Structure 1
Amino acid sequence: MISRKDVVTDSAIAVVAEQGVRGLTHRAVDALAELPVGSTSNVYRTRDALITGIMERIGYLNTQQLERIPELVRAQDADPIEIAIDFCMNWLTTDRNRFYTMMMLSLDPALPPEAVVAKEKNLRAIQDFIMRFAGIDADYARRVNSSVAGMMISELINGTAERAHIEAYLKEFFVWLRSSRENA
């Protein structure tokens, strides 16, 4: 069963995705979650605490999703490129609110210090996963993450999130990745 805190935080993620960072209020979260007025402030006393809670929840959900990838790759006849395409498509469709909110808050210059810590922890977790999964160093993992995230942001901005775009990009990206590793 999902906790009230998770309901509030997941609703807050949706509020940011639908209304932008400026639209994030305790009342907006209560309304979207269909909770009594004051429920969000009972969980997160301040807006800064709510934003920090969002970044922590995003990090948790991202980690849960990343941890399933090795198992998918080990499955019989698994194609790593198809798994990467599915992962990106999931973040651009099913989990679009989470990805969008993660990007919006990550770019917010007024992010509370505790939320900055949560954001940096999430970025490190993604980078560490890429390092372990691909067997590459931190600098290379950062470039891989930046490249794929940049493509995904472009898809969000363009409002496309079409599988054909993601597939073409990732196939070219994997060719470049293999080539650059062989030439290194």
Structure 2
Amino acid sequence: MISRRDVVTDSAIAVVAEQGVRGLTHRAVDALAELPVGSTSNVYRTRDALVTGIMERIGELNTQQLERLPDMFHSSGKPAQEIAVDFCMSWLTTDRNRFYTMIMLSLDPALPDEAVAAKQKNMAKIDEFVMRLAKVDAEMARTINSSVMGMMVAELIAGTADRPHIESFMEQFLAWMGTAVTPA
């Protein structure tokens, strides 16, 4: 069963994705979640606490998704490139609100210190996952994340989730990695 906190936070993620960072208010979250007025402020007293809660929830959801990825590699029989494309497509379609909100809040210069810490923790977990999966050092993991994330942000900005473009990017990127990476 989903907790009240998760309902509020998931709704807040959707508010940012639909209305932008400026549209994030306790009332907007209450309305989207179809909760009585004041429900969000009972969970998160301040806007900063709400923003921090969003960043923590995004990290939690990202971690859950990343933890399932190795099983997909083993059970699906798909090549790594196809699974990577599926993962990117998921973040650009099914999980678009979460990805968009993560990017928008990460770029916010007024992000509260606690939210910055949650963002950094999330990015560190993504880097650690890439280090384990690709068997690369921390610097190369950041390079991989920056490259793939940059492509995904470009798709987000363009308003597309063009699978052939993402497949082409991954093919070229993995070919580059094959020549550039020395295992850690």
Structure 2 length-normalised TM: 0.97
Per-residue CA shift, 1:4-43, capped at 9, x if unaligned? Answer: 1100000000000111111000000000000000000000
**Separation of aligned partners in 1, 2:3 and 2:178:** 43
Partner residue in 2 for 1:14: 14
Given the superposition, is the C-alpha separation of residues 76 and 41 from structure 1 closer, same or farther in structure 2, using an over 3 Å criterion?
Answer: closer
**Offset, 1:76:** 5.5
**Separation of aligned partners in 2, 1:60 and 1:76:** 24
**Separation of aligned partners in 2, 1:76 and 1:98:** 25
**Offset, 1:78:** 2.4
Return the letter of the residue paired with 1:44: Y
**Separation of aligned partners in 1, 2:171 and 2:177:** 10
**Separation of aligned partners in 2, 1:144 and 1:90:** 18
Partner residue in 1 for 2:73: 73
Partner residue in 2 for 1:143: 143
Which stretch shows the higher mean deviation, 28-37 or 73-82?
Answer: 73-82
**Separation of aligned partners in 2, 1:178 and 1:161:** 25
Partner residue in 1 for 2:40: 40
Per-residue CA shift, 1:83-120, capped at 9, x if unaligned? Answer: 10000000000000000000000000000000000000
Contiguous gaps of at least 5 residues in structure 1: none
**Separation of aligned partners in 2, 1:38 and 1:71:** 41
**Separation of aligned partners in 2, 1:13 and 1:127:** 23
Identity %: 71
Return the letter of the residue paired with 2:63: T
**Separation of aligned partners in 2, 1:47 and 1:66:** 28
**Separation of aligned partners in 1, 2:76 and 2:156:** 32
Partner residue in 2 for 1:103: 103
Return the letter of the residue paired with 1:72: M
2:181 match: secondary structure: helix
**Offset, 1:77:** 2.4
Return the letter of the residue paired with 1:16: V
The alignment status of 1:117 with 2:143, answered yes or no, reads no
**Offset, 1:181:** 1.8
Partner residue in 2 for 1:174: 174
Partner residue in 1 for 2:3: 3
Partner residue in 1 for 2:156: 156
Given the superposition, is the C-alpha separation of residues 76 and 149 from structure 1 closer, same or farther in structure 2, using an over 3 Å criterion?
Answer: closer
Return the letter of the residue paired with 2:80: P
**Separation of aligned partners in 1, 2:79 and 2:67:** 17
Return the letter of the residue paired with 2:173: F
**1:49-60 superposed matches below 5 A:** 49-60=49-60
1:75 match: secondary structure: helix
Q: CA RMSD in A?
A: 1.1
